[in-house]
Amino acid sequence: MATTHLRACDVPEVRQELLRWAHANAERGAEAVKVNGFTDPSSIRAAVQGAEQFFVNDQMTWLAREIGEGLPVCAFDTDDIPEPMGFLVWSEDPSAHTTTLGRPRAVLWCQTGLTLRVLVLDDAGPYRRTLEELGSRVDPTWFKEVTASLAGDLSIAFGTTIPLDTEAGWDEVKQGWTLDLHGRPTKDRWNLGADRIDYINEDQLRVIRTLLGTLLLISQPADARRGLWQAEQVRPTSAARKRLTRAGAERPDATVRYITLRQSIRPAADDDRGPQDTAGRIYRHQWFVRPHRRTYPDRNDPTGRTRKWVGPYLVTPAGCEKAPILGRERIVNVLRR
């Protein structure tokens, strides 16, 4: 997997470059880049302006990817969205692809009612290198589309609209991408062939799986006993804040939520407290609970029921706050296909 050169403190400048691109794109009118979910170019600009900033490190991205691969259904719940609008950069590749040119690296989301608009962004580096290598041999139409989609360190990849608080099979989600707004099969503009298009759609689906896994992790409790993750607030560097101010950023000192995987802490040799008796059992470790769907009473309808994601979270029996965390390898074995 490729790891990005971006750091948490770089996210505000990356976001500002995307905002600059969104301003310019909205002014192009009929020539503007349009993607599913953001067919109105000004909607991307509004989402970027209001987005809270997140950065997820390598280990956390890896865990989110493994969790996403094991989720049985596509079920984004309103309660799982940490902010109505967010801009998130993954430190590592959120997809397990091997041959596509695009390298997914970031995601922009915007909640509108019971709909989540999602825009996935690639690392712009591979596109710039390909353009340099092809030189005068590049297809003019492809050149125009690629250059119009470059936004600093990122490139516009694809967008989608996901219903909230509903369940759908992953194949159903992928099938929806093969149809246009009128329900007709989308055109194969580049003559890629059905197999190649299906491969690309499957790759995009992996990114959406990882996004759901990431949001589920972020939405889980971060307290000392159950948290899988920990977060810290990272500010741009002094030089970056000056550049952001010159670029007209509204919040040049806005912080980034840096999400990292909580590490296991083994008890010291002289720790004589040991595990305590809990519910008649003596535990000597902590363990992960993988995500699963659970039925709850509907808060808006006392006679109804609603299904929500529970987990992933860390179980820490009393007295085991410093006991080893078991099951990380086991969880991977369960979720990996």
The tens digit of pLDDT for each residue in 77-124 reads: 998 899 999 999 999 899 877 666 778 999 999 999 999 999 999 999
pTM of the model: 0.79
How far from each other are the two terminal CA atoms of the chain, in whole angstroms? Answer: 17
Instruction: Tell me the pLDDT tens digit for each residue of 286-319.
Output: 777 778 888 877 777 767 777 888 777 777 777 7
Domain ranges of the chain: 8-258, 264-335
**Nearest residue to 117 via CA among 176, 13, 207, 47:** 47
Residues 6+ apart with CB under 8 A from 69: 96, 206, 209, 335, 336, 337
Please report where in the chains the tokens 């005068």 appear, as a residue.
Answer: 136
